[in-house]
Amino acid sequence: MNSLVQTENLSKTYTRGTQHVEVLHSINLAIEEGDFVALMGPSGSGKTTLLNLIGGLDAPTGGSISVGGERIDQYSENALAKWRSGHVGFVFQFYNLLSTLSARKNVELPLLLTRLTGAERRERADIALQLVGLAERAVHKPAELSGGQQQRVAIARAIVSDPTLLVCDEPTGDLDRQSAAEVLTLLQQLNRDHGKTIIMVTHDPKAAEFAHRILNLDKGTLVDVAERPAA
Amino acid sequence: MASGRGNRWRRLLGWLGVWALVFCGLLVLAMLPGWSLPVLLLPLALWLLLTRTGRQAWSATQVGIATIPQRLGSSSVVVVGIAGVVGVLVALLAMAAGFAATLKQGGNDETAIVLRAGAQTELNSVISSETVTLVSQQPQVQRGRDGLPIASGELVVVAALPKRTTGLDANVEVRGVSERAWELRPGIRMITGRRFTPGLRELIVGKRAREQFSGVDVGSTLKLNGQPWQVVGEFEANDANDSDLWADFGVVGPTYRRGNSATSVTVKLTDAHAFETYAAALAADPRLKVDVRTTRAYYTEQSASLTRLITALGNAIGVIMAIGAVFGALNSMYAAVATRTREIATLRALGFRSTPVVVSVMLETMLLALLGGMLGAAVAWLLFDQYTASTLGANFTQIVFAFRVTPELLWRGLKWALAMGLIGGLFPALRAARMSVTDGLREL
Amino acid sequence: MKYLQLVLAALQRHKARTLFTLLSVAAAFLLFGLLDSVRGAFSGAGSTVAGLNRLVTVSRISFTLQLPKSLLERIRAVPGVADVTYANWFGGIYQDQKNFFPNQAVAGNFIDAYPEWKLSAAEREAFRNTRTGAIAGALLANKFHWKLGDKIPLQGTIFPQKNGSNTWTLDLVGIYRIADPQQRGQENALFFNWDYFDEARAFGNGNVGWYVVRVADAKNADRVAQAIDALSADSDHETKTQSEHAFQLAFVSQFGDIGLIVGAIMAAVFFTLILLTGNTMAQAVRERIPELAILKTIGFTSSSVLGLLLAEAVLLLLLGGIVGVLVAGVVANGLQLSMGITLPPIVSSVAVWLRALGLMIVIGIIVGAMPAYRGLRLRVVDALAGR
């Protein structure tokens, strides 16, 4: 199949001492390249867990995940790390940025893992910052930026190494209405104009409206899959 | 703006005030004698228990202390850091004190020692037998029951013996003494064996010398200048003489080809006030070229430079270590204040004013510092009190001494600990006091 | 190094804490620099290449006892001996007891035994030919502003003169210099003519304090030493001949086990330092667990994160430690200028730096290991969830 992301019977069980908690049961889903998916569900439904698995931050206990044709469920920790650096960009609700680095240096972080020179890294970071509309804030530290601006810098960092997949966990959870709208509009733009595939976990239906389709999770299983007409 | 500049001046003045406070606190601390600690604690305890601010401070302190188990790492930094400083300081000062004490023990104001003029130690001194007689016959010298002066012309020579610890040779003092030597040093008693027989090549060994050197146990034979001598007894003097070997003056001289010349004359004066007259009489006599001192003055001089050196070294090392420990304490206490931001803000919101908060942080730091000080002092006392060592004395011979961890030294160590606690706690305490309530409650 | 900026940024996160820790580290290494130098002084750090060819002969019982001058020619006749010279410790005082410096009465050819000391041929000649002549090291001459031709009075403390006076007046005819900075301290001495000394002193005439023997080949040193001692066996002036270095070590060992004392102090200092910086690092890492998790999500491997944390600890130690050693050098300089105490060089000594840097790196690794391990083990998923 041509899906970018494909999971088959994916399950994840956590073991706490003698207790086994199965967080995800046999998830089967496929996400095409260029899609913008919102992952919704009540608290404890396993959406963050699913996101972490797709993003290569965690390994499943059963089933398989294939991203871009690679079976990441079979990768070791180090292999996953290497895979992540080129193929996925992350945006989290909190803690995205290193407080002691400027916006530009934060955006350059993923590029430290490549062989680019300092000048090349700077150039790419500036392009990414321009894309998210924060070129003039390049030298500011996170403490000098608003919540919305910090998230946009996080997005710039997530795309700076040009990954195909963007994984976002409640990116607007901590923002006010207007900043949230700015961030979501940016994500939409990245998806529409630059072909980025985006998977976003959110509990806010208004945020989910920005996506193409919504996946609902409840107690570890996909419930219904609602299609939304392409915007 | 005018008020802006005024603010800056006030802040500057505030800082100056704080530093002045620190300076005064340290001065006061430095001057406190040992018994004053409980005396000072009493008004503090009363203030904590009886006044409202005091009670607030006490409860704030209790809250703080209750959280120490959660901050075990950073609290132990304060305790162990200060313990290290106090331990090293007390150990080094105990070395100096022990050395000085060992030497000073042998001296008092009623006994005087005569050396050749210009000689600093017996090593450089040569006194002819005529001079010995002249010096002993002075009226200020006490007469014994037989009517003869209690004076002893003595000859100090050097022998080489292997040190037990290193196996290498070191120099030991051999003192040729006359019969009067025993009367002059009433503190001496034989532990094993017997006194040497005058006229024979017999030695008695001081307790410390026997501990430090091999080949001088009672019954063994030594070679002095190629001739065999026998060790017939061991004595204890509780002063520097314990590092020596004693023999008959009349036999030592010929063995070392010194004839009957002495290196010193020790005399017992009629009373403590006779010294000045005695010294004047000796100076007035044109036949005599001698220097005379009380034995107290002589031994104090001998230990002076080494004691000063070790004391200065101990203080210098202590200061440098203390700087390190204070910065460690500052780190810990600033972190402590930061982690308890919410608690402190809550207390302030409840109505606690700045003073109790400052006092509580100070008390907590001083308590940790005191703990560290006691730990360091205890370790120093356990490891080093009565620890014997030997070093080069004034005659280039070994003097064996024991470290002395005195209560005075322990108290000094505790004072250093409190001083470090004062500095390490004051600045974080002020930070805690200046913290804005709303910031704290927002728990950033 | 591109990762360096990450490490530096981490240290700047909490500037006050980093500064305090740096100062603590600096204090510890200040002590290390000074104490290591003192230990070096006592372990005869002053052994030189030229010194390998020199033997010292003293009385077997104690170097405070004198030897007959008649031994001179007998020693010179021993096979393997290139030259012999002799000296007596004088211990005179110049103006004030506080101005103490070593001064000795020496034979005319004494300085020839020390080829590493530079003295012009003219000055050597002058010393040999001037009865009351004296030579002093450049350091000493500068300290007291002496010039060639100055008259220098010394007060005798050990040897009174036959004429009853205690003042020995010397003429400064030479100033010697030492090139090796490690040996520069030896310029702090004065030597005058033994003949003047022996003629004028009231007793002990015809006896010397010790002999300095130059051997033709250092390989034969032991054999020559034994042969020299055999000359005086079973006499009343038995000798002990050993290499200059061995003699210095034996002398110093009589002061006590300085190495042990210094070692014990440094152990206490470094133990508390490890505790202190360990705590700082642990705090720093604890605070940054979420940030470290982010780095892992970006694709930094566990070992990279470990490396970053170790680098942080080592950098902390290096920065503070280098400052500490440099300050130790300044303090040592100050001691030399103010009190005339010369310690073996600190800042210019490669050996000291190697030891110090080695310690900094080892302590940095020890201190960083525990928190770095925690960084290695952290599960991104847990860290981001705030667990």
Q: B414-427 pLDDT, tens per residue?
A: 999 989 998 888 88
Note the pLDDT of residue B444.
41
Residues of B in contact with C274 (CB under 8 A): none
Asked whether the predicted pLDDT for residue C267 surpasses 50, the reply is yes
List for chain C the helix, strand, coil content (%; round to 5).
55, 15, 25
Q: B156-186 pLDDT, tens per residue?
A: 988 888 888 878 788 899 999 998 898 888 8
**Rounded CA gap, C255 and C273, in Å?**
29
N-to-C CA span, chain A? 25
| Domain layout of chain C by residue ranges | 4-44+257-384, 61-237
pLDDT beneath 70: ranges in chain A: 1-2, 224-231
H-run or E-run covering C32:
helix C15-42
Asked whether the predicted pLDDT for residue B433 surpasses 80, the reply is no
- For B351-360, what is the mean pLDDT? 79
Note the pLDDT of residue B51.
84
Q: What average pLDDT does chain B have?
A: 85
Give the CA radius of gyration of chain C: 29
H-run or E-run covering C176:
strand C167-178
Cβ separation C21–B77 shorter than 8 A = no
Cβ separation B166–C253 shorter than 8 A = yes
Q: Thinking of the domain A5-227, which architecture would CATH place it in?
A: 3-Layer(aba) Sandwich (3.40)
**Rounded CA gap, B195 and B233, in Å?**
6
Q: Is C253 on the interface with B (CB under 8 A)?
A: yes
Note the pLDDT of residue B24.
82
Q: B113-139 pLDDT, tens per residue?
A: 999 887 778 887 888 889 999 999 888
Which of B95, B157, B94, B87 minimizes the C-alpha distance to B390? B95
Note the pLDDT of residue B428.
86
**Rounded CA gap, A131 and C199, in Å?**
98
Q: What is the least distance, in Å, from the CA of C294 to any CA of chain A?
A: 7
In chain A, % of residues over pLDDT 90: 48
**Rounded CA gap, A35 and A224, in Å?**
17
| Domain layout of chain A by residue ranges | 5-227
- How far does CA B269 lie from the centroid of its chain? 31
DSSP characters over C297-314: HHT--HHHHHHHHHHHHH
Q: What is the ipTM of this complex?
A: 0.85
The 3-state secondary structure of chain B, one letter per residue: CHHHHHHHHHHHHHHHHHHHHHHHHHHHHHHCCCCHHHHHHHHHHHHHHHCHHHHHHHHHHHHHHHCHHHHHHHHHHHHHHHHHHHHHHHHHHHHHHHHHHHHHHCCCCCEEEEEECCCCCHHHCCECHHHHHHHHCCCCECECCCCCECEEEEEEEEEEEEECCCCCEEEEEEEEECCCHHHHCCCCEEEEECCCCCCCCEEEEEHHHHHHECCCCCCCEEEECCEEEEEEEEEECCCHHHHCEEEEHHHHHHHCCCCCCECEEEEEECCCCHHHHHHHHHHHCCCCCEEEEEHHHHHHHHHHHHHHHHHHHHHHHHHHHHHHHHHHHHHHHHHHHHHCHHHHHHHHHHCCCHHHHHHHHHHHHHHHHHHHHHHHHHHHHHHHCCCEEEEECCCCCEEEEECCCCHHHHHHHHHHHHHHHHHHHHHHHHHHHHCCHHHHHHCC
Using CB atoms within 10 Å of the CB of residue B155, give its burial: 0 to 12 exposed, 13 to 18 middle, 19+ buried: buried
Measured at the CA of C285, the angle between CA C284 and CA C288, to 5 degrees, comes to 95
**Rounded CA gap, A60 and A53, in Å?**
7
B163 → chain C, closest CA residue: C254
Touching partners of B (3+ C-beta pairs < 8 Å): C
Q: What is the least distance, in Å, from the CA of B337 to any CA of chain C?
A: 13
Q: Is C165 on the interface with B (CB under 8 A)?
A: no
To test the contact with chain C by mutation, choose from B131, B288, B320 the residue with the greatest count of C C-beta atoms within 10 A, namely B320
Residues of B in contact with C235 (CB under 8 A): 226
Note the pLDDT of residue A231.
46
The residue with greater pLDDT, C135 or B335, is C135
Q: What is the least distance, in Å, from the CA of A65 to any CA of chain C?
A: 18
Confidence of residue B354 (pLDDT cuts 50, 70, 90): confident
B428 → chain C, closest CA residue: C16
Note the pLDDT of residue A36.
94
Helices B72-105 and B407-434, interaxial angle, to 10°? 150
Measured at the CA of C257, the angle between CA C254 and CA C258, to 5 degrees, comes to 105
C256 → chain B, closest CA residue: B391
Confidence of residue B200 (pLDDT cuts 50, 70, 90): very high
Note the pLDDT of residue B440.
60
Q: C63-96 pLDDT, tens per residue?
A: 888 899 999 999 999 999 999 999 998 888 888 8
Which of A167, A154, A140 minimizes the C-alpha distance to A67? A167
Q: Which of B88, B171, B390 sits opposite C265 (nearest CB)?
A: B88
**Rounded CA gap, A86 and A83, in Å?**
6
Cβ proximity of A180 and A202 under 8 Å = no
**Rounded CA gap, C100 and C91, in Å?**
9
Q: How many other C-beta atoms are found inside a 10 Å radius of the C-beta of residue B406?
A: 16
Cβ proximity of A148 and A179 under 8 Å = yes
Q: Which of B275-289, C124-138, C172-186, C293-307 has the lowest mean pLDDT?
A: C172-186
B73 → chain C, closest CA residue: C279
- For C356-375, what is the mean pLDDT? 88
Q: Give C93's DSSP letter.
A: B
Confidence of residue B359 (pLDDT cuts 50, 70, 90): confident
Please give the backbone phi and psi of residue C212, each rounded to the nearest 5 degrees, phi first: -115, 120
To test the contact with chain B by mutation, choose from C62, C98, C167, C374 the residue with the greatest count of B C-beta atoms within 10 A, namely C62
Note the pLDDT of residue B1.
46
- For B35-61, what is the mean pLDDT? 81
Q: Which of B64-78, C35-49, C66-80 has the lowest mean pLDDT?
A: C35-49
Q: What is the least distance, in Å, from the CA of B70 to any CA of chain C?
A: 13
pTM of the model: 0.82
- For B337-356, what is the mean pLDDT? 76
Asked whether the predicted pLDDT for residue B99 surpasses 70, the reply is yes
Note the pLDDT of residue C47.
62
Q: A120-138 pLDDT, tens per residue?
A: 999 999 999 999 999 998 9
Cβ proximity of B185 and B241 under 8 Å = yes
Q: B215-242 pLDDT, tens per residue?
A: 889 999 988 877 899 999 999 988 888 9
Cβ separation C297–A118 shorter than 8 A = no
Note the pLDDT of residue B89.
93
Cβ separation B171–C64 shorter than 8 A = yes
**Rounded CA gap, C305 and C124, in Å?**
67
Q: Give C345's DSSP letter.
A: P
Asked whether the predicted pLDDT for residue C342 surpasses 70, the reply is no
Q: Is B19 on the interface with C (CB under 8 A)?
A: no
- For B56-65, what is the mean pLDDT? 83
